[in-house]
Amino acid sequence: MSQDKQVVLVTGGNRGIGYELAKQLGVNGFKVILASRDPVLGPEAAQKLRASGLDVSFVPIDVEDQESIRQAVITVNEQYGRLDVLINNAGVYLDKNEKLLYMDPSILEKTMAINFFGAYHVMRSFIPLMEKQGYGRIINVSSEYGAVSEMSDQGVGAYKLSKLALNGLTRLAAAEIKGDIKINAVDPGWVSTDMGGPSAPRTPKEAAESILWLATTGPDGPNGEFFRDRERIDW
């Protein structure tokens, strides 16, 4: 790996945890690619960060659209020729109070399409850029709801299943990957964002800390693990 400025891509980067991650990564010297499906709010978020002196650019990615992802890979490769860190942050929380077997199936399908398949397609599409240089860090933003123990309690079924699948993907992909490429998942906790709501006790900055840590781990760092506040937690 060269000693050039590292390049990081953050999906769902125009607000909440994603925006804070883009900001903190920029402060820590990364060249940040802020990815968002919103053609207005995405560029505005990137411009706001650039105005504060950070090295941030925008690329459109709709994680439900594989062609959108493919075009983003082409853009990143042409402009930077590398990707050192990928943070799969884009996600939705569509569950109401319905039980899994009684909710509209489209809620589960949409949740899985974004929270699981979205991360899967983004990861598999960008990994070749990491394999080319033999280095990469991938962090999947998951949830404590994705732990197997959470499946014993009813409620939030679509979101739970999507994060359970994401955690499994993290471990399987980590077992398959070669070279100094680490793939881990993080539970950021209950965060005060548009998704988490105003009552959540954690700030986006607090949520970003473990993710930033995993983005900068060395060759002996963890792989295929699940973390909260830099501590391994059970799947």
Beta strand pairing status for 226-228 and 180-186?
parallel
- The pLDDT assigned to 91 comes to 95
- Rounded Cα distance between 172 and 183, Å, is 9
pLDDT digits (tens, 9 = 90+) for 61-82: 999 999 999 999 999 999 999 9
Residue of higher predicted confidence among 152 and 97:
152
Task: Name the DSSP letter for residue 134.
Answer: T
The residues annotated with a catalytic role in the active site are 159
Sign of the torsion angle spanned by Cα atoms 19, 210, 82, 114: negative
Largest distance between two CA atoms of the chain: 53
Q: Which of 82-91, 174-183, 224-233 has the lowest mean pLDDT?
A: 224-233
Cβ atoms within 10 A of the Cβ of 2, count? 9
Distance CA 103, CA 115 (A): 18
Interval 102-150: pLDDT, tens? 999 999 999 999 999 999 999 999 999 999 999 999 999 999 899 999 9
In the DSSP assignment, the letter for residue 145 is G
Q: Which CATH number fits domain 7-232: 3.30.420.60, 3.40.50.720, 3.40.50.11540, 3.40.630.10?
A: 3.40.50.720
* pLDDT top residue among 197 and 169: 169
φ, ψ of residue 166 in degrees (nearest 5): -65, -40
Residues 6+ apart with CB under 8 A from 177: 127, 183
Name the token pair of 234.
Answer: 């059970």
E strand or H helix at 87: strand 85-88
Residue 2 pLDDT: 43
Contact predicate 67/93, CB 8 Å: no
Domain boundaries, the chain: 7-232
The pairing of strands 135-141 and 31-36 is unpaired
Q: Which residues of 183-216 are buried (b: 16+ CB within 10 A; e: fewer)?
A: bbbbbbbbbbbebbeeeeebebebbbebbbbbbe
Q: 229 — phi, psi (to 5°)?
A: 55, 45
The pLDDT tens digits of the residues spanning 175-209 come to 999 999 999 999 986 655 555 556 655 676 777 88
Provide the pairing of β-strand 135-141 with 85-88.
Answer: parallel
Residue 4's pLDDT band (cuts 50, 70, 90): confident
